């Protein structure tokens, strides 16, 4: 199992770069950031762009993988996103993973003046967005006319450093998203039950993931793909579980999800006075000792 972290894009870079470098020093497999225009309780606080933040992080680190967790169609277009990703992959020397999901109904969904899309339209748009982006990152010239997106003789030369393109980590909990993960993903991302932390007892959380994984296996079987080809990523923080209270708590948590088939756990870098308020010393001990105790 791998251990990664999410570093929120809330820090001015003279401080933020220290966190990204420290994440690499601690040995995290990857450091991701949220791709939002703002987010929940941070809406009236500093919040910087994901792509520029990752570009800066690419120049401040040298080994650790970097990525979004997750990007969505809410305010992204596949043509411009592809150009940004190819550039970012080049700057990082091929260390980028694109976490991608259908998006939700928060601030991002209405910031550009449109009404929030209902669930079916979000799923429809995501179902078009992912394959178009896949083509844009693989092919030097793309033309496409769809229901929601168009591309007219779009050039993406020289393409990605990683071939045939940067890996996609597709976030999905429902049938349509899981089918996209099976077809286009190099990884699948889940945060647990979409209902929220107050609705699922702690003792049932791992079972939710197991059932989602069963559905992912079915989606893979439908296209004759081995589910073992996909990394299976769990983003911690959306359940009532408290794995960051201590090293022992994390070891129990990670062991439970390793048994379900999760291959990577992502924990949030501590943010004081927020829902991600965690003791930094304990967090660093988890990074250094947590997974070692599972082996």
From first to last of the 295 residues of the chain, give the pLDDT tens digit: 999 999 999 999 999 999 999 999 999 999 999 999 999 899 999 999 999 999 999 999 999 999 999 999 999 999 999 999 999 999 999 999 999 999 988 888 999 998 999 999 999 999 999 999 999 999 999 999 999 999 999 999 999 999 999 999 999 999 999 999 999 999 999 999 887 767 789 999 999 999 999 999 999 999 999 999 999 999 999 999 999 999 999 999 999 999 999 999 999 999 999 999 999 999 999 999 988 887 6
Q: For residues 249 and 242, what is the distance between their CA atoms, to the nearest angstrom?
A: 7
Torsion over CA: 134, 73, 122, 105 (sign): positive
What string of DSSP letters covers 92-106? TTS-EEEEE----SS
Q: How many structural domains are present in the chain?
A: 1
For residues 98 and 71, the answer to whether their CB atoms sit within 8 Å is: yes
Pairing outcome for strands 141-145 and 150-155? antiparallel
Strands 168-171 and 187-190, sheet pairing: parallel
- CA–CA dist 171, 190 (Å, integer): 6
Q: Residue 194 belongs to a domain with what CATH number?
A: 3.20.20.30
**Which structural domain range is residue 193 located in?**
2-294
The answer to whether 152 and 171 have CB atoms below 8 angstroms apart is no
Where do the H-state alpha helices sit in the chain? 13-25, 50-60, 78-91, 119-138, 175-184, 205-222, 247-260, 280-285
For the chain, how many residues are written? Answer: 295
């Amino acid at each position: 199992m791998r251990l990664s972290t999410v570093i929120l894009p809330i820090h001015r870079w003279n401080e933020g770069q220290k966190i990204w470098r420290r994440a690499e020093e601690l040995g995290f497999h990857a450091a991701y950031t949220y791709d939002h225009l703002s987010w929940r309780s941070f809406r009236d606080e500093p919040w910087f762009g994901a792509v520029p933040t990752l570009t800066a992080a690419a120049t401040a680190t040298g080994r650790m993988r970097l990525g979004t967790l997750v990007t969505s169609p809410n305010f992204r277009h596949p043509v411009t996103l592809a150009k940004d990703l190819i550039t970012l992959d080049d700057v990082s020397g091929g260390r980028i993973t694109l976490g991608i999901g259908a998006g939700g109904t928060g601030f991002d969904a209405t910031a550009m003046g449109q009404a929030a899309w209902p669930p079916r339209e979000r799923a429809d748009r995501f179902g078009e967005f992912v394959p178009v982006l896949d083509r844009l990152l693989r092919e030097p010239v793309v033309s496409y006319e769809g229901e929601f997106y168009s591309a007219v003789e779009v050039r993406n030369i020289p393409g990605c450093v990683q071939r045939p393109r940067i890996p996609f980590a597709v976030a999905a909990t429902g049938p349509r998203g899981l089918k996209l993960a099976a077809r286009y993903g190099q990884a699948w991302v889940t945060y647990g039950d979409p209902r929220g932390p107050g609705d699922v007892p702690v003792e049932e959380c791992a079972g939710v993931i197991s059932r989602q994984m069963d559905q992912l296996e079915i989606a893979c079987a439908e296209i004759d793909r081995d589910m073992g080809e996909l990394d299976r990523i769990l983003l911690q923080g959306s359940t009532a579980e408290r794995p960051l209270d201590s090293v022992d708590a994390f070891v129990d948590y990670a062991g439970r999800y390793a048994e379900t088939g999760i291959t990577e756990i992502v924990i949030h870098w501590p943010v004081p006075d927020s829902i991600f308020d965690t003791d930094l010393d304990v967090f660093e001990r988890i990074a250094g000792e947590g997974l070692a105790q599972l082996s």
